[in-house]
């Protein structure tokens, strides 16, 4: 288990220790006891082994009577003879800027793209980037002047939210490539709007800050932006045009009523734009589309796109209707791919991204620090560790390990939670073999990402 983890890390990120050494560190040189990359690994371990809280580092990763120090020293290429306490990590993160950790995460995803590990997830040559917002921290009392406020009856709650951009990889892998923290300044000039309108306004403003950073980090990447209907608006369409991105955005009647009415009027007039299919499980799908719909936004800019409708009829129960607008070339050959990879896969940011991170030992909503700079650093560290977690879970090394026992990983381990626990057991009680650290051997391995 430990061997599979180390080989996965060495295979995908052979230079990770060098990158970790480049993290800023404002500590007084005299007082440095632990090397940067070792402290960074200590922090990544908090999420890699899904320990749920900072305090648990002191208990679960205790060096006495365990192999923790040996294994983490080898992983970081260091030689420390004591372990840090959780406050050491907190102090370190207080001095390494959150942007540096965000940049490190970007570097990791760039490496995965360059080594073509994500190719099979491409949609008509593009990689799909899903954007969505979520709540992170919530208090009964104001904790800083950046808190967003929400009224629920007589009570006011103080919130922090984030807008995430996640790249959809193969095998359900969801990689965070951009996080924009939604701050109090976003809610100004929204007085009198209802809560939903304020939320939308915040997310769109945050997107205006996030989009240029994504373009700068991935200037050549062919991007399909996927998002819910709130992103189907002039502001987002203008940004996608500026950056030469394509898009697949949820199309809702209430959000663009005039365009929706035109779409419904034209659908029966385009009888050739239909594709029907029955899945092996018996579910029926009907796709219909209309090209060159026109939309004028609130700044009087005119946009043209194709709208797709997908009707899914299960064997039992009511059919479900989905619709999207897109700039991708829709035809009988491409419509299923566009609707599946660009449209319906959007839920993955909710499931694999937010829910998994909130309802597991990753504990996304836990207050790892009340200092805004620090918790942003913890947030990025979580995203970095989650990239490694997913590459292990969905990579072929774990699958081969299970195959050796005549099982699939899920048959062998039972749940993702158990995988994390077994990994922690392995860190504590087995010295990971020397050969697993060999970067050249790890580079020669073939590690495919697969759902099976
Ligand atoms: Zn706050």
Q: What is the DSSP code string of 241-308?
A: HHHT-EEEEE--TTTSHHHHHHHHHHGGG-TTSEEEEE-TTS-EEEEEEEEEEEEE-TTS-EEEEEEE
Within 13 Å of residue 200, how many CA atoms lie on the same side as its CB? 15
How far does the centroid of ligand 1 lie from the alpha carbon of residue 316, in Å?
47
Are residues 84 and 445 in contact, defined by beta-carbon separation less than 8 angstroms?
no
Stretch 220-224: mean pLDDT: 97
Distance CA 232, CA 323 (A): 12
Phi, psi of 284 (to 5 degrees): -100, 140
User: Which pTM was predicted?
Assistant: 0.92
Q: How far is the CA of 139 from the centre of ligand 1 (A)?
A: 8
- Residue for token pair 């050796």: 404
Whole-number Å distance, alpha carbon 187 to ligand 1 midpoint, is: 13
Q: How far is the CA of 160 from the centre of ligand 1 (A)?
A: 6
Q: Concatenated DSSP letters for 20-50?
A: HHTS---S-GGG--S-HHHHHHHHHHHHHTT
CA 217 to centroid of ligand 1, rounded, Å: 28
d(C-alpha 286, C-alpha 278), whole Å: 9
Cα of 184 vs centre of ligand 1, distance in Å, is 8
Question: pLDDT tier at 29 (50, 70, 90 boundaries)?
Answer: low
Paired with 164 in beta bridges are 132, 179
Distance CA 21, CA 5 (A): 21
Residue 105 CB burial class (10 angstroms; 0-12, 13-18, ≥19): buried
Ligand 1 centroid to 377 CA: how many Å? 15
Structure confidence by residue, pLDDT tens digits, 31-61: 568 999 999 999 999 999 999 999 999 999 9
Distance in Å, CA 158 to ligand 1 centroid: 7
Task: List pLDDT tens digits, range 347-368.
Answer: 777 777 788 888 888 888 888 8
Give me Rg for the CA atoms of the chain. 24
CA of 143 to the centre of ligand 1 (A): 5
Q: Kindly give the distance from the C-alpha atom of residue 159 to the centroid of ligand 1, in angstroms, as a whole number.
A: 7
Q: Say how many Å lie between the CA of residue 198 and the centre of ligand 1.
A: 17
What is the Å distance from ligand 1's center to 149 Cα?
9
Distance (Å, whole) CA 128 – CA 139: 34
Q: Where would I find the beta strands (DSSP E) of 297-406?
A: 302-313, 320-326
Average pLDDT, the chain: 91
Longest dimension (CA), the chain: 77
Lowest mean pLDDT among 8-17, 228-237, 358-367: 358-367
State the distance from the centre of ligand 1 to the C-alpha of 168, rounded, in angstroms: 30
Taking only the tens place, the pLDDT of each residue in 92-104 is 998 888 999 999 9
Q: How far is the CA of 58 from the centre of ligand 1 (A)?
A: 27
* Mean local confidence (pLDDT), 275-296: 96
Distance (angstroms) between ligand 1 centre and the Cα of 372 equals 7
The Å distance, Cα 190 to ligand 1 centre, comes to 19
| Cα 144 to ligand 1 centroid, rounded to whole Å | 4
CA–centroid distance, 9 to ligand 1, in Å, is 35
The pair phi, psi for residue 336, each rounded to 5°, is -65, -45
Residue 284, strand partner residues: 278, 313
Neighbour count for residue 17 (Cβ, 10 Å): 21
Distance 148 CA to ligand 1 centre (A): 7
Contact 402, 409 (CB under 8 A): yes
How remote is the CA of residue 15 from the centroid of ligand 1, in Å?
A: 36
* Ligand 1 centre distance from Cα of residue 276 (Å): 50
Angle at 183 between CA 178 and CA 186, to 5 degrees: 100
**By the 8 A CB rule, do 381 and 50 touch?**
no
- SS percent in the chain: helix, strand, coil, step 5: 50, 20, 30
Residues 6+ apart with CB under 8 A from 424: 49, 50, 51, 60
Q: How far is the CA of 388 from the centre of ligand 1 (A)?
A: 29
In this prediction, residue 189 carries a pLDDT of 46
Ligand 1 center to residue 145 CA distance, Å? Answer: 6
Provide the pLDDT for residue 30.
55
Let me know if 393 is exposed, middle or buried by CB neighbors in 10 A (0-12, 13-18, 19+). buried
Residue 297 has phi, psi (to 5 degrees) of: -85, 180
Residue 72 predicted with pLDDT over 90: yes
Q: Which two tokens stand for residue 76?
A: 């970081």
The rounded Å distance from CA 114 to ligand 1 centre is 38
CA distance 111 to 113: 5
Pairing type for strands 284-296 and 274-278 reads antiparallel
Specify whether the CB–CB gap between 234 and 298 falls below 8 A. yes
Distance 110 CA to ligand 1 centre (A): 32
| 165 pLDDT above the threshold of 80 | yes
Check residue 143 and give its pLDDT.
80
CA of 60 to the centre of ligand 1 (A): 30
- What is the Cα–Cα distance from 434 to 438, expressed in whole angstroms? 7
In whole angstroms, give the CA distance from residue 216 to residue 401: 40
Residue 370 C-alpha to ligand 1 middle, in angstroms?
8
Question: Distance from the CA of 185 to the center of ligand 1, in angstroms?
Answer: 12
**Residue 371: pLDDT band by 50, 70, 90 thresholds?**
confident
380 CA to middle of ligand 1, Å?
18
């Amino acid at each position: 288990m430990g061997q599979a983890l180390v080989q996965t890390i060495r295979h995908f990120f052979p230079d990770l220790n060098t990158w970790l050494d480049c993290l800023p560190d404002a500590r007084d040189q005299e007082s440095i006891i632990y090397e940067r990359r070792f402290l960074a690994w200590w922090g990544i371990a908090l999420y890699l082994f899904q320990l749920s809280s900072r305090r648990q580092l002191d208990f679960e990763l205790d060096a006495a009577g365990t192999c923790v120090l040996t294994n983490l020293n080898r992983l970081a290429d260091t030689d420390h003879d004591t372990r840090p306490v959780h406050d050491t990590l907190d102090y370190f993160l207080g001095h390494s800027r959150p942007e540096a950790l965000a940049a490190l995460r970007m570097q990791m995803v760039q490496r995965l793209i360059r080594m073509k590990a994500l190719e099979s997830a491409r949609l008509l040559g593009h990689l799909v980037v899903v954007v969505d917002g979520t709540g992170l921290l919530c208090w009964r009392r104001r904790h800083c002047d950046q808190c967003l406020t929400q009224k629920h009856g007589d009570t006011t709650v103080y919130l922090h939210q984030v807008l995430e951009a996640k790249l959809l990889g193969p095998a359900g892998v969801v990689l965070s490539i951009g996080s924009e923290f939604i701050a109090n300044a976003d809610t100004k000039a929204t007085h009198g709007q209802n809560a939903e309108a304020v939320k939308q306004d915040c997310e769109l403003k945050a997107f205006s800050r996030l989009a240029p950073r994504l373009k700068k980090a991935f200037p050549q990447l062919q991007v399909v932006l996927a998002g819910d209907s709130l992103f189907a608006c002039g502001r987002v369409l203008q940004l996608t045009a500026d950056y030469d991105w394509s898009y697949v955005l949820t199309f809702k009647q209430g959000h663009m009523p005039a365009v929706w009415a035109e779409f419904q009027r034209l659908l029966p007039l385009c009888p050739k734009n239909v594709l029907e299919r029955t899945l092996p499980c018996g579910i029926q799908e009907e796709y219909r589309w209309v090209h060159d719909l026109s939309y004028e936004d609130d700044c009087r800019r005119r946009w043209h796109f194709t709208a797709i409708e997908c009707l899914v009829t299960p064997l039992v129960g009511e059919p479900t209707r989905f619709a999207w607008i897109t700039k991708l070339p829709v035809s009988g050959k491409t419509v299923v791919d566009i609707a599946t990879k660009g449209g319906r896969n959007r839920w993955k940011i909710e499931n694999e991204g937010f829910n998994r991170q909130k309802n597991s030992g990753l504990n996304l909503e836990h207050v790892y620090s009340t200092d805004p700079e620090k918790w942003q650093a913890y947030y990025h560290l979580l995203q970095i560790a989650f990239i490694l977690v997913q590459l292990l879970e969905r990579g072929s090394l774990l699958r081969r390990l299970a195959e050796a026992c005549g099982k699939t990983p899920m048959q062998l381990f039972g749940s993702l939670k158990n995988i994390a626990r077994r990994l922690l057991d392995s860190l504590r009680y087995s010295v990971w073999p020397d050969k697993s650290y060999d970067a050249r051997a790890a580079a020669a391995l073939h590690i495919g990402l697969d759902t099976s």
